[in-house]
Amino acid sequence: MRFLITAGPTREYLDDVRFLTNASSGRMGYALARAALASGYQVTLVSGPVAIAPPDGCDFVPVRTTQELLEACERVWPECAGVIGAAAVCDYRPKIRATGKMKKTGGPLLLELVETPDVLAALGRQKENQFVVGFALESQDARENALRKLRGKRCDAIVLNAPTAIDADENTIELIDRHGVTAGEWSGSKTDIADRLIAWISQNLIGPASDDL
């Protein structure tokens, strides 16, 4: 049984050398990949650029942009039992990507941004007996926004955390199930939280780990 895990930031290029991104370290997603492997699942880890090495034994697909993340995930999605979306995806990209390196003009530069595709929502729309677990990083109206994402992306559960999670070793999360009910409130290292989340998914969203799916 294979888990699809997204991790790290995406990049959205202004030109060939400059991009928009965020400070995601990939630690949460990589810890989830390690925990899933340790529980006997196969793992495809699709990751934006990070400084850490992928765990041994996973199928690793490095990507840079949100569009690449979407294409990589859609390719493997039919073979997967479910997805955990831990990637910190850029919501916007520059409308135009210049070739080469943009020159200074001596005046202000206005950037027009357009929305990127929502990878998790796309997988949620295509799901067939597959689980979808999302992350919601919220700074205000946290639970309300997390519930909106849970429903909008057809998630089976959503992990609510705060901006302090970005680039940190530790995390504090609330796990919310598909009915909007709190299924766990955990604090600790991202490794501990990953272990607990994989155990919860095993018990609540799928049967015991097996090779025959």
Nearest-CB residue for ligand C5P: 85
Pick the closer one to ligand C5P by CB: 24 or 191. Answer: 24
> For ligand C5P, which residue of 48, 77, 135, 191 counts as binding (CB under 6 A)?
135
Q: Which of positions 149-168 make contact with ligand C5P (CB under 6 A)?
A: 149, 153
CA distance 145 to 51: 30
> For ligand C5P, which residue of 35, 87, 176, 198 counts as binding (CB under 6 A)?
87
Pick the closer one to ligand C5P by CB: 63 or 206. Answer: 63
Indicate which residues carry an active-site annotation.
22
State the nearest-atom distance from the C-beta of 70 to ligand C5P, in Å. 8
Per-residue binder mask for ligand C5P (CB under 6 A), 3-42, x = binder: ---x------------------------------------
Q: Does residue 136 interact with ligand C5P by CB under 6 A? A: yes
Q: What is the CA radius of gyration of the chain?
A: 17
Site of interaction with ligand C5P (CB under 6 A): 6, 66, 85, 87, 89, 91, 116, 118-120, 134-137, 149, 153
